[in-house]
């Protein structure tokens, strides 16, 4: 072999071997050694192959950590909640995405997959336990939820098929109508109606069904066409919902709910074929007319019992959950605003 050829080969080998070695060496040896923050590598695989590993990490209050996520099989997505606002987006196989965090108080946080990666996708979760080093034995207790407790006190069974409270007589439902209710049409009708004070109270609306509200509205507006009253209820349920909020929450819904409940709330997402029970159809006004916001909220946070409706209470804040509830109502009463 001539000398020049030999040198050329050597140079090539150096590039082929040397480049990855220096890159990997930097990522996995040099950088952790030089870093002042702890780097935690987390591998993401479909739940059938173990999900996140590790699936629990412990951090001290005040400690800064870099979480480095790598997808090992298919494309995953990673977000961390509640209330941290961390969404790393998609992570393709072989790709690495990271976030550096410091926690100023103890608590429990969840990293979760945001991409439909397998029928068990929603089981792909990991826990960050933030401990107070001054009090290492005490694990943060999960916060109590006043809304869910109030439902229990009222005697509302959120797992029953009919969730209405005592005062909502069974059998109330939406009248059969030729056209779907529309908040947009109702907004024009509302000022012409006599609206009982409780219906104007957001707290009352949170704890009552549209069906109950319709009864009261009909009693106060004898002779008005049922379709116009239903539209007015739709408008009331959509008051205080902004388009920009719907846009933000739409991303959360698409990432976490649409796989089962369907993009427009038809209850027919691609994962619906795998669930033990049929996912609720939020685009069905007759069904939603019998639902209360606080029950929807409780169901989202706590999940179903053996139905495959996951619990999201460890992923979202209370306010983010209410925003989801408002989004579900938009799927019912203002579908044009969320499509």
Give the footprint of ligand HEC on this chain (CB under 6 A): 122, 256-257, 259-261, 271, 275, 277, 279-280, 296, 299-300, 304, 307-310, 312, 324
Q: What is the dihedral of CA 271, 151, 148, 204, to 10 degrees?
A: 90
Residue 331 interacts with which of Cu ion, ligand HEC, none, CB < 5 to 8 Å by class: none
Q: What is the CA angle 322-162-150, rounded to 5? A: 50
Nearer to ligand HEC, 229 or 280 (CB): 280
Residue 302 interface partner, choices ligand HEC, Cu ion, none, CB cut-off 5-8 Å depending on type: none
- The nearest distance, CB 39 to Cu ion, in angstroms, is 22
Nearest to ligand HEC of 236, 324 (CB atom): 324
User: Which of the listed partners (Cu ion, ligand HEC, none) does 76 bind, with a CB threshold of 5 to 8 Å by partner kind?
Assistant: Cu ion
Binds 113: which of ligand HEC, Cu ion, none (CB < 5-8 Å by kind): Cu ion
Nearer to ligand HEC, 65 or 323 (CB): 323
Among 45, 78, 117, 324, binds Cu ion (CB under 5 A): 117
Cβ distance to ligand HEC smaller for residue 39 or 287: 287
Residue 97 as a binder of Cu ion (CB under 5 A): the answer is no
d(C-alpha 89, C-alpha 62), whole Å: 26
Q: How many of the other CB atoms lie within 10 Å of CB of 167? A: 9
Q: Which long-range contacts (CB under 8 A, 24 or more apart) does 221-226 make?
A: 221/193, 221/194, 224/193, 226/175, 226/177
Of 117 and 281, nearer to Cu ion (C-beta) is 117
Residue of 45, 65, 71, 113 interacting with Cu ion (CB under 5 A): 113
Select 189 or 332, whichever has its Cβ closest to ligand HEC: 332
What minimum distance in Å lies between the beta carbon of 321 and ligand HEC?
A: 8
Q: Select 78 or 148, whichever has its Cβ closest to Cu ion.
A: 78
CB-nearest residue to ligand HEC: 304
d(CA 85, CA 81): 7
Nearer to Cu ion, 67 or 235 (CB): 67
Give me the least distance between CB of 113 and Cu ion, in Å please: 3
- Count CB neighbours of 242 within 10 A: 10
d(CA 234, CA 214): 10
CB of 71 closer than 8 Å to CB of 305: no
List the beta bridge partners of residue 89. Answer: 78
315 vs 336: CA distance, rounded Å: 28
CA angle 242, 248, 253 (to 5 degrees): 110
| Least distance from ligand HEC to the Cβ atom of residue 274, Å | 7
Whether 79 and 111 have beta carbons less than 8 Å apart is answered as: yes
Residue 79 engages Cu ion in binding (rule: CB under 5 A): no
Helix (H, G, I), strand (E, B) or coil at 57: strand
H or E element, residue 252: helix 243-256
How far is 79 from 114, CA to CA, in rounded Å?
7
Residue 205, contacted partner among ligand HEC, Cu ion, none, CB below 5-8 A by kind: none
The item of Cu ion, ligand HEC, none sharing an interface with residue 317, based on CB under 5 to 8 Å by kind, is none
Give the Å distances, CA to CA, from 132 to 38, 55, 61, 238, 314. Answer: 17, 20, 5, 42, 19
In the list 71, 124, 130, 241, the residue contacting Cu ion (rule: CB under 5 A) is: 124
Question: Residue numbers of the site for Cu ion (CB under 5 A)?
Answer: 76, 113, 117, 121, 124
């Amino acid at each position: 072999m001539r000398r020049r050829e030999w040198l050329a080969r050597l140079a090539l080998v150096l590039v082929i071997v040397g480049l990855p070695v220096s890159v990997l060496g930097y990522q996995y040896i040099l950088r952790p050694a030089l870093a002042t923050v702890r780097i935690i590598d987390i591998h993401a695989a479909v739940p059938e192959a173990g999900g996140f590993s590790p699936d629990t990490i412990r951090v001290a209050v005040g400690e800064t950590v870099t979480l480095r996520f790598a997808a090992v099989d298919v494309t995953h997505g990673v977000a961390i909640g509640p209330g941290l606002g961390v969404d790393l987006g998609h992570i393709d196989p072989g790709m690495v995405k990271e976030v550096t965090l410091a926690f100023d108080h103890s608590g429990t946080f969840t990293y979760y997959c945001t991409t439909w990666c397998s029928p068990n996708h929603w089981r792909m979760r990991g826990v960050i336990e933030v401990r107070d080093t001054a009090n290492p034995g005490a694990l943060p207790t999960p916060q109590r939820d006043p809304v869910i407790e109030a439902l229990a006190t009222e005697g509302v069974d959120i797992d029953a098929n009919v969730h209405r409270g005592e005062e909502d007589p069974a059998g109330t439902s939406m009248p059969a109508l030729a056209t779907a209710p529309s908040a947009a049409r109702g907004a024009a009708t509302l000022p012409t109606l006599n609206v009982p004070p409780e219906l104007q109270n957001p707290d009352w609306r949170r704890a009552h069904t549209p069906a109950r509200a319709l009864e009261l509205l009909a009693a106060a507006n004898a002779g008005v066409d049922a379709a116009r009253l239903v539209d007015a209820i739709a408008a009331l349920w959509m008051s205080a919902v902004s388009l920009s909020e719907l846009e933000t929450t739409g991303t959360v819904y698409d990432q976490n709910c649409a796989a089962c409940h369907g993009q427009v709330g038809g209850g027919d997402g691609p994962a619906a074929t795998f669930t033990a029970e049929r996912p609720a159809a939020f685009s069905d006004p007759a069904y939603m007319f019998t639902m209360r916001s606080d029950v929807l909220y409780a169901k989202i946070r706590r999940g179903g019992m053996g139905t495959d409706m996951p619990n999201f209470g460890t992923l979202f804040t209370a306010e983010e959950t209410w925003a989801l509830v408002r989004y579900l109502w938009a799927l019912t009463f203002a579908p044009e605003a969320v499509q």
